[in-house]
Amino acid sequence: MINLNGEFVWWLGVVEDIQDPEKLGRARVRIHGYHSANQEDIPTSSLPWAHPIFPITSASSSGVGTTVPGFLPGTQVFGFFLDGKEPMPQQAMIMGTVPGVNAQENIKEEGLNDPYDNFPRETYLGKPDTNILAYGPPEEGTPTFNKKPVEDVPTGDGESWSEIPLYSFPSKYPFNKVYESIAGHLIEIDDSTPPDSFKQAVKSGTVKDSLGNGRIHIYHNSGSFIEIHPNGEMIIKSTSGAYKVTMGNDNMYVQGNLNITTDGNAVFKAANYIFEGGKAHFNLSDDFQVDCKNFNVNATENINAVADADAQIGGSGVANFVGGGAKIKLQGGMVELNPPG
């Protein structure tokens, strides 16, 4: 039963347990001034469950909306009691999280800490809880640290290309909005701009124009990612297989060159093939074989076939050489017609 007595009592506390048996996103919170910091006095399992409050942009109904809350054991949160006039209020509501600076390592045996000893992470000791990527490049211990790009991929025309490394465009605080999950998945929406340019834009009232195009980055902890650069370039990288399924038409248009390189086989299967363009050049180091029903070649000008060794044209039926109204010329060191053997 919810007790609404008409008085809010604000509190500040630390999350110690998020394994809500009812799966409502609740957390056990040790609240300053109400619960002893000594685990022997009040163990984590005896703390009351506190309900999270979601914004009105989340329906929080029938699975629609944002679930579950993002706080973790060790997160500092604030809220209020619905039953604030009670000697030991139990109906706590969580309104938000409060970042800070992790001055010391976690002591799991003590209250107001993470009892599972996962947080704060070592990378963030002595640093603010703000994600490192929001104000600088990746550091050791962050998901995208030391990720090597693919380099010197050869193309069919003898050239090569290399993947643009992650974070080639530095982020500036406070313009990079970062979301990171507990497993190390990332989303970055980066509106960074040089500080001096921004200060000038604030004075002139042209903030929006000064921010440029920014950067968007979606990263999976396997190393697969999608990144859009300030100039509109896009990188899509899968560190494992990739599957694309289109249930209708699939159209691709490239204004520049199209380079496709594979270290394995390239296999194409279709009902029919239509190729149209200018020149076609096949530069192969091994055999070229075509297996088909009828093989027809129509040239508006000449057909030239040259072999450094033997050249053979044959058929199980009749081999016809038709010159139309022109001549048929056979030329060589020796011409044999129907030779024995």
Q: Note whether residue 264 is domain-resident.
A: yes
- pLDDT at position 225, please? 95
Residue with more model confidence, 165 or 114: 165
C-alpha atoms less than 13 angstroms from C-alpha of 229 in its C-beta half-sphere: 13
Paired with 25 in beta bridges are none
pLDDT range class, residue 154, cuts 50, 70, 90: very high
Question: 182 with 273, same domain?
Answer: yes
Q: Note whether residue 337 is domain-resident.
A: no
Q: What is the pTM of this model?
A: 0.80
* 225-228: strand order across its sheet: 176-180, 186-190, 215-219, 225-228, 234-237
Question: 269 with 215, same domain?
Answer: yes
pLDDT tens by residue, 294-308: 988 888 888 888 888
Question: 123 with 236, same domain?
Answer: no
Q: Note whether residue 336 is domain-resident.
A: no
The residue segments making up the domain with residue 43 are: 1-127
Instruction: Answer with the one of 93, 127, 161 that is the final residue of a domain.
Output: 127
Q: Note whether residue 314 is domain-resident.
A: no
pLDDT of 115 over the 90 cut: no
Q: Note whether residue 330 is domain-resident.
A: no
Residue with more model confidence, 101 or 212: 101
Question: Using CA atoms, how far apart are residues 123 and 278, in angstroms rounded to an integer?
Answer: 56
Question: Using CA atoms, how far apart are residues 52 and 95, in angstroms rounded to an integer?
Answer: 6
- pLDDT at position 210, please? 47
Q: Note whether residue 292 is domain-resident.
A: no
Q: Note whether residue 327 is domain-resident.
A: no
CATH code: domain of residue 108:
2.40.50.260
Question: 97 with 173, same domain?
Answer: no
pLDDT tens by residue, 231-248: 888 999 999 999 999 999
Instruction: Answer with the one of 232, 262, 283 that is the final residue of a domain.
Output: 283
Task: Return the biggest CA–CA distance within the chain.
Answer: 117
Mean pLDDT is lowest, of 4-13, 71-80, 227-236, 269-278, for 4-13
Residue 133 to residues 121, 219, 227, 238, Cα–Cα distance (Å):
15, 13, 15, 22
Question: Using CA atoms, how far apart are residues 215 and 164, in angstroms rounded to an integer?
Answer: 13
Average pLDDT, the chain: 85
